[in-house]
C-alpha cells in the first residue's frame, strides 16, 4: 500500500475535521488550562483558548500538512527532512535534548514476544522495555491458586488478584528497562518455580504492606485496536502519547504533539531504568495475543497506563477462570493497587470493598474509569469471530 493511501483517511480528517466525542471532549476540557500556556498547543488544540466541545468539529491543518509530506516523501520526511528539523528547532527553543542525529539513527525493531501458559492458553506479550512481563508474572502467580473456585468479585477473588499484581509490579519496578543497556532476567522472572515462591508470599487474610519488596535479585492516554481478517491474520496494536496530550507541547508548525515517555525513567543513577542518551524508558503500552496450541485464539489489549498489565491479567482470569464471555470480562468492575491504596471503580460491590478493608487494603473510589479494552476471539471450531469493546472509552466492535 502506498503512503498516500495509508495516510489518506488521517489527512482527510485532520484537514476537514472530525467530530469531538463525549469521552474525548471531557478529557480535552480537563486539560485545557494546561495546554493554554503553550502557544503552539493553544493554536493547534484549543478554540479561542478553550477545549472544543463534544459534538463540534475540530480541524488540525498543520498536522494535515505534516501527514501529506510523509505521504509524498515517505518516512524520510519525518526522520531526515523538514519535520525532524522543525521538531528539533522547537526542542532546542524549549531546552529540550532532541537532535537530528536522534531521528536519523532511529530504527523500528522486530522482536520476539515473551509468553507464559495460563489455564490452557499461551499468552504472548512484548518483551522489555515494555511492561507486558508484569501481566505474565501476575498470571503465573494466580495459576498457583484455584481462582475460579472463589466467588467472583468476592473478597478472596479480589484479594488474590490484587496481591499477585503487587508482587509482579514490584519486580517490574526493580528489573524492567531497556535491555540494550542492562540485561533483564526475563527467564527468571517468568520461571514457574519463582511464581510458586511468589505465591507463597501472599497472606490469604491480610494485605501486604506497601511498598512490596522485589524478591528476584539483579545479576499514561492510549489508543488500542485489534483487527482479524478472513484468513485469520491478526493485528494487536497500541499507540500512546502516555499522559493525555503527552508533554502538552505541539512542536512548532508540525501539528505533532510530543509525548512524555521520558516520565517512565527514574533518576537514581544506580537503577537499571535510569535515564541515559539513546535509552528507552520502561514502557507501559502492551498489545497482546493468546493461543491455544498452534491456533491464535484471542487478540486483545487493555489501555490505561499503569493499569494495563492488571487489565490483561484480570480480563484473562475473568474469561478463563470464570467463563465470562469477552464483553462480560471487559465490562467487569475494575480495581488497581498502587501507592499504598486500591483504586476501585464505583461499580465494585460495596460489600467486597468492605471485606478488602477488613484484610488491610486501603480501598478508595477511583475518580475515573480504569482503562479501556478491545478484544477479538477466534472460534476456529465454529468458524466465527466474537468481538468486545469497552464502554469506558470511545470504540466499537465491527464485522464486515
Q: Residue 114 belongs to what H/E stretch? A: strand 114-118
Number of helices (H), then strands (E), in the chain: 14, 13
Task: Name which of 55, 90, 106, 75 is nearest 280 in CA terms.
Answer: 106
Peptide bond into 211 cis (omega under 30): yes
Other C-beta atoms lying within 10 Å of the C-beta of residue 280 = 20
Task: Name which of 82, 72, 126, 73 is nearest 103 in CA terms.
Answer: 82
Is the sign of the CA dihedral 159, 165, 167, 173 positive or negative?
negative
How far apart, in whole angstroms, are the C-alpha atoms of residue 304 and residue 369?
9
How far apart, in whole angstroms, are the C-alpha atoms of residue 62 and residue 256?
8
Is 33 in contact with 250 (CB distance < 8 Å)?
no
Other C-beta atoms lying within 10 Å of the C-beta of residue 59 = 16
φ and ψ of 365, to 5 deg: -80, 130
Which SS3 state, helix, strand or coil, does residue 94 take?
coil
Long-range contacts of 31-38 (CB under 8 A, 24+ apart): 31/244, 31/245, 31/248, 34/245, 34/248, 35/245, 35/248, 38/248, 38/249, 38/250
Given 222, 254, 257, 297, the catalytic residue: 222
Note the residue count of the chain: 400
254 given a catalytic annotation: no
Residues forming the active site: 222
Amino acid at each position: 500500500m502506498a503512503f498516500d493511501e495509508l495516510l489518506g483517511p488521517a489527512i482527510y480528517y485532520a484537514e476537514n475535521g472530525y467530530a469531538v466525542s463525549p469521552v474525548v471532549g471531557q478529557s480535552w476540557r480537563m486539560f485545557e488550562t494546561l495546554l493554554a500556556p503553550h502557544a503552539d498547543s493553544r493554536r493547534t488544540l484549543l478554540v479561542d483558548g478553550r477545549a472544543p466541545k463534544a459534538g463540534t468539529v475540530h480541524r488540525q491543518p498543520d498536522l494535515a500538512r505534516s501527514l501529506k509530506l510523509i505521504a509524498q516523501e515517505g518516512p524520510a520526511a519525518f526522520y531526515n527532512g523538514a519535520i525532524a528539523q522543525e521538531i528539533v528547532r522547537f526542542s532546542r527553543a524549549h531546552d529540550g535534548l532532541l537532535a537530528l542525529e536522534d531521528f536519523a539513527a532511529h530504527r523500528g525493531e522486530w522482536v520476539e514476544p515473551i509468553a507464559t501458559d495460563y489455564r490452557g492458553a499461551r499468552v504472548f506479550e512484548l518483551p522489555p522495555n515494555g511492561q507486558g512481563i508484569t501481566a505474565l508474572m501476575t498470571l503465573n502467580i494466580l495459576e498457583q491458586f484455584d481462582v475460579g473456585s472463589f466467588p467472583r468479585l468476592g473478597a478472596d477473588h479480589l484479594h488474590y488478584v490484587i496481591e499477585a499484581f503487587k508482587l509482579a509490579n514490584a519486580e517490574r519496578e526493580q528489573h524492567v528497562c531497556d535491555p540494550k543497556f542492562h540485561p533483564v532476567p526475563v527467564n527468571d522472572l517468568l520461571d514457574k518455580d519463582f511464581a510458586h515462591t511468589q505465591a507463597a508470599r501472599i497472606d490469604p487474610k491480610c494485605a501486604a504492606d506497601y511498598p512490596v519488596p522485589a524478591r528476584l535479585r539483579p545479576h499514561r492516554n492510549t489508543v488500542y485496536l485489534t483487527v482479524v481478517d478472513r484468513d485469520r491474520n491478526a493485528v494487536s496494536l497500541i499507540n500512546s502519547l502516555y499522559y493525555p496530550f503527552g508533554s502538552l507541547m505541539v512542536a512548532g508548525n508540525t501539528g505533532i504533539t510530543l509525548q512524555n515517555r521520558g516520565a517512565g525513567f527514574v533518576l537514581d543513577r544506580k537503577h537499571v531504568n535510569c535515564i541515559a542518551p539513546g535509552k528507552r524508558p520502561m514502557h507501559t503500552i502492551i498489545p497482546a495475543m493468546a493461543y491455544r496450541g498452534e491456533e491464535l485464539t484471542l487478540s486483545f489489549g487493555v489501555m490505561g497506563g499503569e493499569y494495563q498489565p492488571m487489565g490483561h491479567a484480570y480480563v484473562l482470569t475473568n474469561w478463563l477462570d470464570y467463563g465470562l464471555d469477552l464483553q462480560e470480562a471487559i465490562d467487569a468492575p475494575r480495581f488497581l493497587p498502587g501507592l499504598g491504596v486500591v483504586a476501585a471503580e464505583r461499580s465494585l460491590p460495596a460489600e467486597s470493598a468492605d471485606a478488602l478493608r477488613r484484610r488491610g487494603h486501603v480501598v478508595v473510589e477511583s475518580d475515573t474509569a480504569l482503562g479501556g479494552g478491545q478484544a477479538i476471539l477466534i472460534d476456529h471450531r465454529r468458524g466465527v469471530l466474537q468481538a468486545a469493546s469497552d464502554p469506558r472509552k470511545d470504540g466499537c466492535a465491527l464485522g464486515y
